[in-house]
Amino acid sequence: MNRANAIDLSSQPNSFVEEIKLTANLGWPIVLSNLTQISLPIIDGVMVGSIHSNQLAAASLVINLISIPVLLCMGLTMAISPLVSASLGKSDYKSPLEILVNGMFIGGIFSLLLALIFHFGKEVVFHLGQDLEVARIAQDYLVIIAWRLVPFALFSSISRFAQGLGHTRVVMTLNLITIPLNILLNYILIFGHWGMPALELKGAGYGTLLTQLIALILFIVMILRSDRFGDYRNDLSQTFRIKLSRIKEIIKIGVPVGIQLSLESGAFAFSGLMAGWLGVQQQAAHQIGIYISSLTYVVSIGICTAGSIRVAFFFGKKDWDSVFAIGRSTVFLALIFGLIFSVLLIAGYVNIPFLFTKDWDVIQFAKIVLLMTALFQLSDALQATSAGILRGIQDVKIPTYLSLIAYWVIGIPAGYLFAFTMGWGISGLWTGLILGLSFNALLLTIRFFRKVGQLRIESELA
């Protein structure tokens, strides 16, 4: 039976450069897929922003409110890729679809609970100190976007399954299709075309929800019918069973990963709150830095996911030399991209702020922030990638504790100290973030290579 996959996970590279190419070829479609996913709420904001500023403010409020639940859903599904890839490394071809089914079950239940919480707790928007009209508009949008979490979690589960098999371009293609589809549905529902009422921000919510549902249905049909996944559809009666052991396996990896993502996102969100204590101009400058760093971070996530998948395959084979080599080349690739982004930001820090604002004071602060953003590119790329390859060897518990220390014991307190006690202002906040990221990057990288060494020794002694 043909067990080929899209990236030939079992290949043995002849050189360090070839090793990097394998990871890069697997990773670039993941980067585009991630860019597509984060663009959907941005499309909502851009399209409703043309109606009135309160529509855009309401969209922003909901996106910030729901960001942590989204990350928790993502964390759960991120467990699927390395588990699927590791099963291939063990020549276990029955497990991948079984992992997917149980992953969809736990992801679906968790996202459903979150949707119900937001549905019945939608009045929280009136208790966040926001303008009453903005809160009123945001309330209905929050409910719709909360229900979008369910198809999002299911779609994300299937995406991680396909990526674990090496079919990253399939995931990319389906994600790219969602962009024009979402724009079309938003156009119809926001502004009221083709006989539909003008629903404004609610229309954007329905458009994004429908887009996610359509993409999910297309993906399910592909998994069930495409020859690409045919080898994994044998013995479906056994595959489509909920197994407690599988659920525990997914939760064991997925929950810590979700917490890791939430700790990092929460630290940046809280730093934004502290930036507001410094004044409107510095807060706006801080947000410009967040926008730019979010775009570069997507690339790091693509690299780390690709490295995680490849590491997991050889982890399943217990081929520690290959695990070490893939980890080393993935870290190197991440550092190269981090260096490129640093150089680009240093070259463009004077002009980039003009893309966001014409306020001279904001522009001056934004120049400082962008230089600080350039400085942390290497640390950010390294910590994201090291966390990913650790996930490939199913080591997630200690990295979660390290992230807690890095962001909330070092980063945030140091940022407060530099910004307020020492009077450095916005540059102090970013100095704290850089320290936190650098601490996390260094310790996670050291942990990966030490852990692989330990696994090699344990395997030799067994």
Give the 3-state secondary structure of residue 241.
coil
- As given in the structure block, the two tokens for residue 72 are 């928790």
**Residue 12 backbone zone (phi > 0: left; psi -120 to 50: alpha; other: beta):** beta
What are the tens digits of pLDDT across the range 39-76? Answer: 777 677 667 766 766 776 677 677 777 877 888 888 88
Highest mean pLDDT, choosing among 91-95, 134-138, 285-289, 343-347: 343-347
Which carries the bigger pLDDT value, residue 73 or residue 450? 450
The angle that helices 397-404 and 426-461 make with each other, rounded to 10 degrees, is: 160
pLDDT attached to residue 2: 43
pLDDT at residue 20 is higher than 70 = yes
User: Cα separation of 111 and 151, whole Å?
Assistant: 9
Please state the domain extents for the chain. 15-242, 253-462
How many beta carbons lie within 10 A of that of residue 399, not counting itself?
A: 23
Mean pLDDT of the chain: 85
Q: Which amino acid is at 339?
A: L
User: Cα separation of 201 and 281, whole Å?
Assistant: 28
**454: burial class by Cβ within 10 Å (0-12, 13-18, 19+)?**
exposed
**Residue 15 backbone zone (phi > 0: left; psi -120 to 50: alpha; other: beta):** beta
User: Cα separation of 106 and 112, whole Å?
Assistant: 10
Rounded to 5°, angle at Cα 256 from 255 and 262: 90
CB 325 within 8 A of CB 94: no
CA-to-CA dists, residue 172 to 36, 145, 255, angstroms: 8, 22, 25
Assign 3-class secondary structure to 5-68: CCCCCCCCCCCHHHHHHHHHHHHHHHHHHHHHHHHHHHHHHHHHHCCCHHHHHHHHHHHHHHHH
Concatenate the DSSP letters of all residues of 304-346 into one string: HHHHHHHHHHHHHHT-HHHHHHHHHHHHHHHHHHHHHHHHHHH
pTM of the predicted model, to two decimals?
0.83
pLDDT at residue 96 is higher than 50 = yes
Q: Which amino acid is at 234?
A: N
pLDDT at residue 23 is higher than 60 = yes
Q: Which amino acid is at 229?
A: F
Rounded to 5°, angle at Cα 352 from 58 and 62: 15
- As given in the structure block, the two tokens for residue 100 are 């997917």
User: Cα separation of 309 and 295, whole Å?
Assistant: 22
pLDDT at residue 6 is higher than 60 = no
pLDDT attached to residue 267: 87
pLDDT band at 4 (very low <50, low <70, confident <90, very high): very low
Q: What percent of the chain has pLDDT over 90?
A: 31
pLDDT at residue 416 is higher than 90 = yes
CA-to-CA dists, residue 29 to 23, 176, 216, angstroms: 11, 10, 18
How many beta carbons lie within 10 A of that of residue 429, not counting itself?
A: 30
User: Cα separation of 451 and 462, whole Å?
Assistant: 16
Within 260-387, strands assigned E span none
Number of continuous H segments (helices) and E segments (strands) in the chain: 16, 0
